[in-house]
Amino acid sequence: SDHKLDYPKTPEDMNWKKLYPGFYDEKTGKMTQNVEIADIGCGFGGLMVDLAPHFPESNILGMEIRVQVTQYVEDRITALRRKHAEDACNFQNIAVLRGNAMKFLPNFFQKAQLKKMFFCFPDPHFKQRKHKARIITNTLLSEYAYVLREGGIVYTITDVFDLHQWMAKHLEEHPLFERLDKAWEEQDECVKIMYNATEEGQKVDRNQGSKFIACFRRIPNPEL
């Protein structure tokens, strides 16, 4: 349960320096770049590791609710930073935060702060009465739309066809998202990375399962 979790009162209260020390400017006391990409339910962090070299100008944040898994990812990132300290990609732009992504996202991120959000192999919650626990619901989509900028992208991938249809349906019905077509998916580098990078995705490969993708663009708010 998450009653022990700390949430910043506002995004300004968040201590980003601790997570991305390489992008903290001692002189100004400000971060030199911000989180623009979020991996919701990041698990063991494989997606962030593979995205890191492609987005040197963006900080990438994994949110994960399980304590031990979060600790594992933290250690993994510390080791990568040490090993690649002198390399072009030194992994200073990825970090993990323990938290419940279904709660208080607007406490962490400013309006329109994010350009990409990933939902990779979210827990399926198969039973009907558990569907409200799914990470994509109408209410949560409005929060995701708030933290995403216009033109920002929501990526979803799952091996559970029913969940794929559920996520696609909810996103399609939401007024602030539009589905991107197969041609778009085929030319997007993040789709390729997402398809192969995550630990859950690799497990699906080993079991010769299928992977279903749906991507959506955050469209402008309608004029009032």
Catalogue the active-site residues: 123
Least Cβ distance, residue 114 to ligand SAM (angstroms): 15
Q: Which is nearer to ligand SAM, 66 or 130 (CB)?
A: 66
| Gap between the Cα atoms of 205 and 210, Å rounded | 8
| Gap between the Cα atoms of 92 and 100, Å rounded | 23
**Strand blocks (E) in 65-210:** 94-98, 114-120, 148-158, 177-179
Q: Please check whether residue 119 is in contact with residue 156, taking contact to mean a CB–CB distance below 8 angstroms.
A: yes
Least Cβ distance, residue 103 to ligand SAM (angstroms): 7
- DSSP symbol at 85: T
Least Cβ distance, residue 82 to ligand SAM (angstroms): 23
Contact residues for ligand SAM, defined by CB under 6 A: 41-43, 63-66, 69, 100-102, 120-123, 198-201
SS3 of 213, please? Answer: strand
Q: Which helix (H) or strand (E) holds 40?
A: strand 35-40
Least Cβ distance, residue 65 to ligand SAM (angstroms): 4
Q: Which is nearer to ligand SAM, 63 or 148 (CB)?
A: 63
Q: Which is nearer to ligand SAM, 102 or 180 (CB)?
A: 102
Least Cβ distance, residue 204 to ligand SAM (angstroms): 9
Crossing angle, helix 199-206 and helix 189-197, to 10 degrees? 70
| Gap between the Cα atoms of 58 and 29, Å rounded | 19
Q: Which is nearer to ligand SAM, 113 or 198 (CB)?
A: 198
**What amino acid is encoded at 77 in this protein?**
I
Q: Which is nearer to ligand SAM, 44 or 91 (CB)?
A: 44
| Gap between the Cα atoms of 127 and 130, Å rounded | 5
